[in-house]
Structures are given as C-alpha cells and as structure tokens.
C-alpha cells in the first residue's frame, strides 16, 4: 500500500500492478517465465497443493488470501431469485477486467443470462483516475459493493479474483480453482492517449497488455485447454487503409498465387499497437497449440446503461469524459450538457465504427455461445455503424437543440497523428450472422444519453475536457501532472 500511495503521490506509473498488492520478495518462488518454472518445478503439482476446493463465491486476492463468502452471506437475504437456465451449469466464464467500463456491463449481462461468472481484476483502472486526477461522470461503487448489490437483487453470485494477470502464479491459481469454459479478456490498458503520455506509460501499456495476454494463453494451454478465449481487440488495429476493411483476413493474389492472409495492420498509438501484438501472439498459439480464440475487433463504444446496470445505483457503470479515457460520442454528450464546445480534433473527417454498450455485451455473449473450434483464430469486427467525428458533432448539436442546450462544435488542433479525411468502409457481418440485434444511434437514444449527461453535469470537472496528450510531444520524462 505504501507503493500505491507513493505512486499516486509522485504520479510514477507502475511497471506492473503487482507492485501494488504484493510487497517485494513476498514470494519465495518468483516466476521468471513459465518455461523456467515448468522445468524446475511441476507447476500443476505446485499449484494444486496450494489451491482450494471450488466454493460458490470467492474473493481471491493476489496474495492468495483465504476465500471469503462474506459477500454472499450478507447479500443473500431478501434477494429476488432469477431463473437459471439449465445449460448454465457447465458455462463458467472468467471475465478479466470485469470492473471496467465494458467488463462490468458484460459480467452482469452474462450472469443475468445464466452463466456462472468470475471477475478477475487488479482494479488498476481506478488507480489511473487517482494518478491523473480524473473521475467518472457517474459515481461508481467499489467492486465488492457492486457484487454484493447484484447478489441481493438477483440472487446470483459473481466470484471475484483480485490480482494481476501479468503475475502468472496468481493467474494460474485463478484458472485452477475456477476452471473456466470461456475467458473474456478485457483486462488491458485501453486508452490510446494514456499510452502516449510518456515513455513509461507507453512501456506500461505494452507490457501490461502483451504479457497479460501471453499469460492468459499459457494458462489456457496448461490448465484449461478446451477453454475458449474471447479477446477484446480493436478496429484500430487496421488503421484507415484506402481499401475496404475485411474481418480479420484478406484474400490476395500476388504474382499469380493466391492466399488468405491476416488483414494488414496499421495501428496509430502504442495502445492500438499492443492489440496488434496480442493478435499475432493469439494467432500463433492457435496454430501451435490448438487454442480456440475469438478476437473481437471492437469499435468505439458509447452509452452507459444496460438492462442490468440500471437496476440499481450501486450497479451504475463508469462514464469517462476526460481527454484521456473519454471516447468521442460520450465526451460530446457531456460537453453539450455543460455548455463546453464540442472538441472536434482537426478536420473531423476521422471515421470509425461505433457501437452501443448494450451491443458490446450482446456480442460477447454471442461469441461465447458460439465458440471457435480448437485451433481456430476467429476475428469479428464488432461495431454497428460508422460515423465521422463531424457526423457525431452535428448529431449531438441537433439533439442538444431539442433539449434547449446551445451546442457549438469547435475544431481544436489534433493532438494525434491520424488521417483527418480518408476512405473508410469496414465489414461487420459475422456478428450479425450469429444473431446480433443492434441498437442503432437513433434520435431517442441520443436524447437519453444527453439527458443522462445533464443529470450528472454538476460532477463534471471542465478542466479535464480539453485534450492534453500529444502524439508528437511524447518524451522520456515522466509526466506527473494530470494528463
């Protein structure tokens, strides 16, 4: 904890979140690499000696503290029992990053659909806010209160493993004790601007994301080889090529020979690049070890409410509007609500795929319910509609006017290095074929998002709105001030 406080104080980014939860030298056995450990000590045997019998609800900390049933017991009284679908018994899903924006909504959705759910999270997203002086538009409860409230409302338990997937021993223990059928991996540093603050944040992002995913792949190989990996990738892996974007693969004829190859990747931040590296590692392990995996190349997510999160204030999701973690449409709604000009970066012709958070949770459910085959590396483009930044600005301006808000769009110098006018046409049919029923961005949806922002506008810190992370100015000196 001393480390945590000093990190918050100095703004020093952590190289690994494990630093927070485990004093140095606390383990007699430090894992340098899985291969090291496997040859010196039989890892399965080592961990099975330490593991506990499965329990209905667990909270396991990185240091393998005793199992706690406290949340269950406190919450069980007076709960409304939802029917559990019979097939759920064998459907155990581990949601890595289940305390974050997409992860929390997904964990609840899967739980409500009858899956057994365990959240694995190191809570580092909350720490980033402390370090940078940021805050969600919406007040969010602790993960413990969230899970307790869910249990009291629905009777459904969510297991909790608090720790870092970069710490393989922790991850191995979570896998062995939980025995997941599917792993949904949201547990990555997901902000492009965060990864461009300074050298150490760039290194943190790539280390955290790439090594975390590599550890998940090793854990599947070693402990759960049938387990289906559903990995959150990004549409940003493709960049903005001047040809149509396919779903993962493109068939090319070159010098008279034809092959179907991974679609070219042109990511444009250290964050987006980390996802490219992940995709390569996953594709390789599918081939080499027969892992089954689905890479969900997700677009920009908007919205905040899902059927489950709106059941109670304590289930409320986070809503980022700042220049580091806030994404385009959500930011514009908050800006409109507080009378701040909409921050269109550069010419505003940047076009991306977008989707409602209610579709994120639906897509993940569809991927889990229709798993990839052993050895298959499946790629789905996960978005429902394309918009340019200018499109979004004019939609928000119109919706704002209906609510009596005076909204203006302002072109601000683009802090990023990206094409501001370009061709963009990305395929997104595979999830539709599996049955996705999209929530498209209608007037009424935009009205409700704006109303939501208006409801919480007193919580907005307008100093966090303008972008302050520059792709070109990134340097080696640690930036300790609010980004």
Ligand X SMILES: O=c1ccn([C@@H]2O[C@H](COP(=O)(O)OP(=O)(O)O[C@H]3O[C@H](CS(=O)(=O)O)[C@@H](O)[C@H](O)[C@H]3O)[C@@H](O)[C@H]2O)c(=O)[nH]1
Q: Quick one: 236 or 400, whose CB is closer to ligand X?
A: 236
Residue 393's CB is within 10 A of a number of other CB atoms, namely 26
Catalytic annotation present for 275:
yes
Stretch that binds ligand X, among 73-81, 83-91, 324-332, 362-370 (CB under 6 A): 324-332
What Å distances lie between residue 273 and 279, 280, 476, CA to CA?
Answer: 10, 11, 19
Q: Is 61 a catalytic residue?
A: no
Beta carbon nearer to ligand X, 21 or 204: 204
**Contact region for ligand X (CB under 6 A) — 153-161, 187-195, 201-209, 430-438?**
187-195
Our finding on whether 318 is near ligand X (CB under 6 A) is no
When the beta carbons of 240 and 285 are compared against ligand X, the nearer one is: 240
For the chain, give percent helix, strand, coil, nearest 5: 40, 15, 40
- Could you give the CA distance from residue 345 to residue 328 in angstroms, rounded to a whole number? 10
Q: Centre a 10 Å sphere on the Cβ of residue 20 and count the other Cβ atoms it contains.
A: 19
Q: Taking CB under 6 A as the rule, does residue 483 contact ligand X?
A: no
| Nearer to ligand X (CB atom), residue 182 or residue 464 | 464
Question: Which residues neighbour 110 within 8 Å (Cβ) at sequence distance 6 or greater?
Answer: 93, 95, 117, 184, 361, 364, 365, 368
Question: Min. distance of Cβ 64 from ligand X in angstroms?
Answer: 31
147-164: burial string, b at 16+ Cβ within 10 Å, e else: bbbbbbbbbbbbbbbbbb
Binding-residue pattern over the window 278 to 317 for ligand X, x denoting contact by CB under 6 A: --------------------xxx-----------------
Q: How far is the CB of 57 from ligand X (least distance, A)?
A: 30
Strand order across the beta sheet in which 385-388 lies = 300-302, 351-356, 385-388
Report, in Å, the least distance between residue 138 CB and ligand X.
17
Q: Out of 111, 122, 209, 234, point to the residue binding ligand X (CB under 6 A).
A: 234
Question: Which residues in 362-401 contact ligand X (CB under 6 A)?
Answer: 389
Residue 309 CB, nearest distance to ligand X (Å)? 19
Which residue of 75, 95, 166, 235 would you call a contact of ligand X, by CB under 6 A? 235
Rg (CA), the chain: 22
* Tokens representing residue 234 in the block: 């990004």
User: Of the listed 101, 194, 238, 271, which one is catalytic?
Assistant: 271
CB 196 within 8 A of CB 202: yes
Q: Give whichever of 299 and 303 is closer to ligand X, judged by the CB atom.
A: 299
Nearest approach, Cβ of residue 412 and ligand X (Å): 8
CB of 340 to ligand X, least distance (A): 10
Query: Between residue 55 and residue 94, which ones bind ligand X under the rule CB under 6 A?
Result: none
- Using the rule CB under 6 A, which residue among 97, 98, 180, 236 binds ligand X? 236
Question: Contact at 8 Å (CB) between 213 and 281?
Answer: yes
Catalytic-residue membership of 271: yes
The CB-side HSE value for 397 (13 A sphere, CA atoms) comes to 14
Binder of ligand X out of 191, 206, 317, 381 (CB under 6 A): 191
One symbol per residue from 246 to 285: x for binding ligand X (CB under 6 A), - otherwise; what is it?
Answer: ----------------------------------------
Stretch that binds ligand X, among 16-24, 168-176, 258-266, 348-356 (CB under 6 A): 348-356
Catalytic residue among 18, 59, 205, 234: 234
Shortest CA distance to 114 belongs to which of 369, 431, 436, 437? 369
x-marked contacts with ligand X along 430-459 as a string, rule CB under 6 A: ------------------------------
Interacting residue with ligand X among 98, 303, 353, 371 (CB under 6 A): 353
Asked if 220 is part of the footprint of ligand X (rule: CB under 6 A), the reply reads: no
Using the minimum distance from each CB to ligand X, give the nearer residue, 59 or 268: 268
Instruction: Kindly tell me the sign of the dihedral angle through the C-alpha atoms of 284, 164, 116, 222.
Output: positive
Q: Strands 385-388 and 351-356, how do they pair? A: antiparallel
Backbone angle region of 476, left / alpha / beta, with phi > 0 → left and psi within -120 to 50 → alpha: alpha
- Whether the CB-CB separation of 153 and 312 falls below 8 Å is answered with yes
Say whether residue 474 binds ligand X (CB under 6 A). no
Q: Using alpha carbons, select from 298, 280, 278 the residue that is nearest to residue 430.
A: 298
Task: Find the shortest distance in angstroms from Cβ 215 to ligand X.
Answer: 20
Is 152 a residue that touches ligand X (CB under 6 A)?
no
For ligand X, the closer of residues 65 and 463 by Cβ is 463
Residue among 68, 98, 92 nearest 178 (CA): 92
Size of the site for ligand X (CB under 6 A): 21
Closer residue to ligand X (CB): 34 or 324:
324
In total, the chain counts a number of residues equal to 483
Query: To 10 degrees, what angle do helices 443-455 and 328-338 make?
Result: 60
Least CB distance from residue 144 to ligand X, whole Å? 26
Please return the burial class of 79, using the count of CB atoms within 10 Å of its CB with bins 0-12, 13-18 and 19+: middle
Residues of this chain that interact with ligand X (CB under 6 A) are 190-192, 234-236, 298-300, 327-328, 331, 343-345, 350, 352-353, 389, 416, 418
Catalytic residues: 234, 271, 275
């Amino acid at each position: 904890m001393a480390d945590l406080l000093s990190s918050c104080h100095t703004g020093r980014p952590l190289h690994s979140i494990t630093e927070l939860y485990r004093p140095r030298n606390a383990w007699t056995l430090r894992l340098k690499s899985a291969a090291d450990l496997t040859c010196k000590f039989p890892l399965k045997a080592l961990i099975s000696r330490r593991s506990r019998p499965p329990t209905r609800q667990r909270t396991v900390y990185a240091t393998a503290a005793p199992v706690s049933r406290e949340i269950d017991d406190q919450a069980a009284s007076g709960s409304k029992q939802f029917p559990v679908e019979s097939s759920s018994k064998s459907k155990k899903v581990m949601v890595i990053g289940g305390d974050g924006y997409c992860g929390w909504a997904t964990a609840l959705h899967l739980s409500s659909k009858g899956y057994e759910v365990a959240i694995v999270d190191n809570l580092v997203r909350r720490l980033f806010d402390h370090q940078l002086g940021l805050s969600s538009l919406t007040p969010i409860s602790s993960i413990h209160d969230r899970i307790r409230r869910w249990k009291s409302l629905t009777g459904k338990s969510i297991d909790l493993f608090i720790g870092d997937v970069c710490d393989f021993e922790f991850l191995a223990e979570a896998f062995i004790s939980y025995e997941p059928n599917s792993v949904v991996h949201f547990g990555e540093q997901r902000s492009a601007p965060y990864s461009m603050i300074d050298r150490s944040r760039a290194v943190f992002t790539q280390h955290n994301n790439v090594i975390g995913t590599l550890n998940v792949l090793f854990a599947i190989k070693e402990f759960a080889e049938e387990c289906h990996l559903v990995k959150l990738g990004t549409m940003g892996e493709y960049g903005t090529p001047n040809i149509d974007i396919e779903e993962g693969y493109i068939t090319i004829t070159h010098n008279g020979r034809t092959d179907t190859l991974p679609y070219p990747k042109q990511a444009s931040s250290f964050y987006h690049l980390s996802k490219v590296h992940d995709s390569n590692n996953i594709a390789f392990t599918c081939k080499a070890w027969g892992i089954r995996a689905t890479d969900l190349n997700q677009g920009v997510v908007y919205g905040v409410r899902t059927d489950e999160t709106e059941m109670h204030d304590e289930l409320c999701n986070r809503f980022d509007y700042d220049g580091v973690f806030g994404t385009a449409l959500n930011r514009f709604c908050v800006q409109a609500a507080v009378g701040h000009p909409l921050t269109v970066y550069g010419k505003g012709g940047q076009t991306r795929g977008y989707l409602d958070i209610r579709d994120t949770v639906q897509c993940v459910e569809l991927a889990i319910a229709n798993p990839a085959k052993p050895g298959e590396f499946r790629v789905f483009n996960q978005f429902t509609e394309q918009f340019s930044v200018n499109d979004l600005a004019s939609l928000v301006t119109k919706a704002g006017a209906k609510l009596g808000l005076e909204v203006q769009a302002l072109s601000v110098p683009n802090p990023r290095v990206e094409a501001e006018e370009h061709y963009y046409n990305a395929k997104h049919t595979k999830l539709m074929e599996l049955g996705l029923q999209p929530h498209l961005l209608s007037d009424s949806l935009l009205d409700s998002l704006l109303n939501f922002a208006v409801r919480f506008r007193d919580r907005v810190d307008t100093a966090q709105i303008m972008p302050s992370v520059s792709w070109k100015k990134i340097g080696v000196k640690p930036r300790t001030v609010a980004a």
